[in-house]
Amino acid sequence: MPPINLGIVGVGKIVRDQHLPSIAKSAEFNLVATASRHGTVDGVPAYKSIEEMLDAVPSVDAVSLCMPPQYRFEAAHTALSAGKHVFLEKPPGATLSEVADLQATAAAKGVSLFASWHSRYAPAVEPAKAFLASTQIKSVQVIWKEDVRHWHPNQAWIWQAGGLGVFDPGINALSIVTHILPRSAFITAATLEFPENCDAPIAAELHFKDAANMPIHAVFDWRQTGKQTWDIVAETEAGTMVLAEGGAKLSINGELVFSEPEQEYPALYCRFAEIIKSGTSDVDIAPLRHVADAFLLGKRKVVEAFFD
Ligand code: NAP
């Protein structure tokens, strides 16, 4: 199969950090155009909007949509309606309903829709899943604490409604948890902390259980300075499992059993090529559904104003 001609929409931080290096190394994708109001990529034809790009470069087969989630639906609908395959950055949309609408459009047009969850491709995630499948889980603790000023400087959209606030990183934890646990779980109680000048939370505490009453406790906090923590800890019949550093390292009973360099975005592009070739879509909304449930069920606590 010849390379898939790709257009990127929303050239910003994640495109520069991850998409461009991964596409450059991929034999399956050829970057032929970008659409962004300000961002451009050296040597690649640049357009201001997806409509302009699709008109000017009809050979585009697929698009990666990398703008903030609140502004993604229109572009996704435009691309799918034009018969293009679509890669959605995480989270796949601002609402569950719009993602369902995109799934229906992709199916009707016979093109592939990929709701990407990069953290699921962290190296120790599959070994963690295999370990948990081999034992009985007693409880799970998720600790996702990072410094928003370091990771999201000057990003106004994350503080606006639909920007998800601390769930922007927290949904990465949820994408791993929903992948590695053998049974689905649901939120029973939540507290969301909103800075008094923001429409999205800076911290959240979530309690889940599954049908067997197995408890899951998650703490997301964006006010962490110093050491950053992205850990999932499971107490099991076979001992304590720690999936650390965002899914990079797996320890069982204090012994490091798996650690490899991360290749999340190259793996995402392999998966995108695979679903295009097989004529399928890959859209799992479970992580976004938990976030929606947290907003449905969560108590709202107002905390001190946040200034970047
Ligand atoms: P970003 O740099 O703030 O935004 C990406 C680009 O989207 C911007 O450069 C901008 O390009 C465009 N954009 C911004 N606001 C827009 C608006 N109102 N309407 C249309 N386009 C707009 O964000 P990012 O960090 O790359 O994150 C984008 C997505 O990737 C998010 O969903 C995020 O969760 C996900 N992601 C981010 C990271 C990370 O480390 N940053 C990691 C994994 C996933 P123009 O001004 O040129 O149009």
- The confidence score (pLDDT) of residue 121 equals 98
Q: Using a 6 Å cutoff on CB, does residue 34 contact ligand 1?
A: no
Q: Using a 6 Å cutoff on CB, does residue 157 contact ligand 1?
A: yes
Q: Can you state the angle between helices 286-297 and 96-109, rounded to 10 degrees?
A: 150
Chain-centroid distance, C-alpha 191: 22
Low-confidence ranges of the chain (pLDDT < 50): none
> Hey, whose CA ends up nearest to atom 40 of ligand 1?
14
- The confidence score (pLDDT) of residue 236 equals 98
Q: Using a 6 Å cutoff on CB, does residue 72 contact ligand 1?
A: no
Atom of ligand 1 at shortest range from CA of 155: 3
What 3-state DSSP class applies to 73? helix
In the chain, what are the domains?
Answer: 4-115 (3.40.50.720), 119-263+292-303 (3.30.360.10)
- The confidence score (pLDDT) of residue 1 equals 79
- The confidence score (pLDDT) of residue 250 equals 98
- The confidence score (pLDDT) of residue 148 equals 98
- The confidence score (pLDDT) of residue 297 equals 98
- The confidence score (pLDDT) of residue 304 equals 98
- The confidence score (pLDDT) of residue 238 equals 98
Residue numbers annotated as active site: 90
